[in-house]
Structure 1
């Protein structure tokens, strides 16, 4: 670990190396090695005509010593790098979060580099005081944060707004990953259903009765009607006249909610209160959205194989998922409890659809309809 290593790591000559460059190079080697190399590195930087400053070297020694002693947290180290004056803040006060370095897409990497270059210009212009940051000056830190917040919200010459550009790329990556996961889960579901020894027959009478109950229920206010309407997207489109279409749309919505709860009639201040307790409806919808594709696949595959008459309580479903050979899983007791909690909302809604009876036992309608509903939920929407 010497000045040549720092220059190679930063891709710059010694005269152009910044505090951030030195900090990142020091963190790229074991802390003990960096501590031993620190005095010689400081002298070499001084000989190169780029001495940096005593507050920086003092902060480097303190941080590396804390790391070596096992006392420094990840946040401590991140804040130290940020105090160099040219490291973008990982999470800004408005909760913009930069992706980790090895997870940045092309846009995020480009914007991050633009931000670093911008901060370097501000340091050269004297608008950022790295020594004040290194000393932990609160006013300097706040100014540093505000400067970055402003840059993230200011359009570049090409019209892109950095913060939005990064967020849009992350959303696209997330949606692409979810689409890939959903497509794989759908192919596995079709394979499993295709291997069943007997395809369930449509229970016509049970479907007609369930659809009639569902039509009456959906006209009512409050839970569960509001959650079922949100799941099916009926707040934005009419309820189908066909019984099978109605039932499958709602059942599929439980596995893949189409929309959020309608906010009509709710006071705006209620939604601004972040500390308020979630309503039963909010909790139910959040639970549905939190269930992974793999868990849905394992649960429905197991129930399809076992057939009507099997217990489908939240506890049983969680156990079926944990014991499934259809997915890679390493469930612990705490995970079982969490899965059970999520599926408590599912089984409750299933009971209104006639998928399970009053004793939480899978019905003939549930056996026939669950795989079809899940396939619909995961099929591309036109």
Structure 2
């Protein structure tokens, strides 16, 4: 009893089913099973007996854990059946962060919801015994009232669900910016240490840009993907050749926007059984490549120089063997996944003149790739 009260931060008379369930799960299941009868008697003596369905469900769940047949979902469902544990994922797919990953806002909103549920149990609007018995109607009502609370403004105007999601987005963006800034500093260090700095191959640049201007004026792939990557659907194409080329090359490493939406695109995404178009698949692949993979791949090409093979398979190998990033041991599936992502990259590099038709790095690619990557990663820092 002392352990349960300390774990919950409440006296015995105020303990809820949730408090007891969480305390039981905080110790080995065998220990919890042995102590269950004494705990039940102690709570009865304290005038807080809880209920027979709760104790039966506790014994059943702990026994399943001890025998190794309980799943994480089974245990989560049992804690939720106490009537005051917020459900981990609502029917509308709102997901609470893990307890050790909650920011101040998520922690506050979680506490508020627990208190709200405790009030509803006290008022008889939630029946924990029905939840423990697996009553589907009781479960549906339990989910519905939590959905309603998450979407209802508090007195201060904050909507709990939106507040938690906004905090998670801010944390995600902050982590992304930090990773990008670190990758940028490493890129500058690596390029600055090259024994020979590449010079701009002006003739190759002019030839590539002349080809690109023609492609950008045409509908379909690759023009639509390149325009989306560089954000040229929302701003004019630069007149300066170098500015145009760097914007496109940087866009491949960090796409600025999605494809322009139209009815066909929306219908395509609504068809969950259909396949993505070449354009959508290409953009999805570009957005899936991590900063570390870009850094490792471009750093390797910068060191090797023009004439090196830069095929998707070779890029996957260069990344896996890189000493510039921490790479776990990769199996063939990992290499195949990286190769698949860089298939879209290399196909666009051919149009940019980064590699030639044989997927070999050109002097233009050697000169421009580090500069394009630096541009793609400089927006947050700037």
Calculate the TM-score normalised by the size of structure 1: 0.98
The aligned residue for residue 352 of structure 1 is: 351
Tell me the CA shift for residue 265 of structure 1.
4.3
State the distance in 2 between where 1:295 and 1:232 align. Answer: 20
Alignment of 1:152-231 (within 5 A): 152-231=150-229
Cα distance change of structure 1 residues 288 and 268 upon mapping to structure 2, 3 Å threshold: closer
- CA drift at 1:229: 1.0
* CA deviation profile, 1:285-322 (whole Å, cap 9, x unmatched): 11111111000000000000000000000110000001
Q: CA RMSD in A?
A: 1.0
For the structure 1 residues 341 and 282, does the alpha-carbon distance in structure 2 shift closer, same or farther, using more than 3 Å as the test?
Answer: same
The answer (yes or no) to whether the contact 2:300–2:318 under 8 Å persists in 1 is: yes
| Mapped partners of 1:330, 1:168: distance in 2 | 32
Matches within 5 A, 1:259-298: 259-266=257-264, 268-298=266-296
Distance (whole Å) between structure 2 residues aligned to residue 43 and residue 276 of structure 1: 59
Aligned to 1:134: 132
Q: Which of 10, 13, 16 is the equivalent residue of 2:11?
A: 13
Please, which of 236, 241, 244 is the counterpart of residue 242 of structure 2? 244
Partner of residue 376, structure 2: 377
2:124 match: secondary structure:
coil
CA–CA separation in structure 2 for the residues paired with 1:147 and 1:308: 63
Q: Which sections of structure 1, spanning at least 5 residues, go unmatched? A: none
For residues 349 and 329 of structure 2, what CA distance do their matches in structure 1 show?
A: 24
Q: In structure 1, what is the Cα distance between the partners aligned to 2:355 and 2:313?
A: 14
Q: Is the CA contact (8 Å cut-off) linking 2:268 and 2:276 kept in structure 1?
A: no
SS at match of 2:326: coil
- Structure 1 residue 267: deviation in Å? 5.8
Q: Of the candidates 70, 77, 87, which is equivalent to residue 72 of structure 1?
A: 70
Q: How many angstroms apart in 2 are the aligned matches of 1:226 and 1:91?
A: 37
Q: Number of residue pairs matched?
A: 380
CA deviation after TM superposition for structure 1 residue 8, in Å: 0.5
| Helix, strand or coil at the partner of 1:266 | helix
Q: For 2:256, what is the secondary structure of its paired residue?
A: coil
CA distance in 2, matches of 1:285, 1:219: 19
| Equivalent position to 1:57, from 55, 58, 80 | 55
Offset from partner CA, 1:180-214 (integer Å, 9 cap, x none): 00000000000000000111010001001111111
SS for the counterpart of 2:283 is helix
Residue 332, structure 1, aligned to residue 330, structure 2? yes
Deviation at 1:271, TM superposition (A): 3.0
Residues 312-356 of structure 1, C-alpha deviations (whole Å, 9 max, x = no match): 001100000011010010131221111111111111111110101
C-alpha separation between the residues in 1 aligned to 2:265 and 2:199? Answer: 47
Shift >4 Å, 4+ stretches: none
How many Å separate the matches in 2 of 1:273 and 1:121? 43
Equivalent-residue separation in structure 1 for 2:379 and 2:213 (angstroms): 26
Q: TM-score, normalised by structure 2?
A: 0.98
Which consecutive residues of structure 2, in runs of 5 or more, have no partner in the other structure?
A: none
- Tell me the CA shift for residue 280 of structure 1: 1.5
Residue 46 of structure 1 aligns to a residue in which SS?
Answer: helix
Aligned to 2:111: 113
Change in CA separation of 1:345 and 1:205 when aligned onto 2, cut-off 3 Å: same
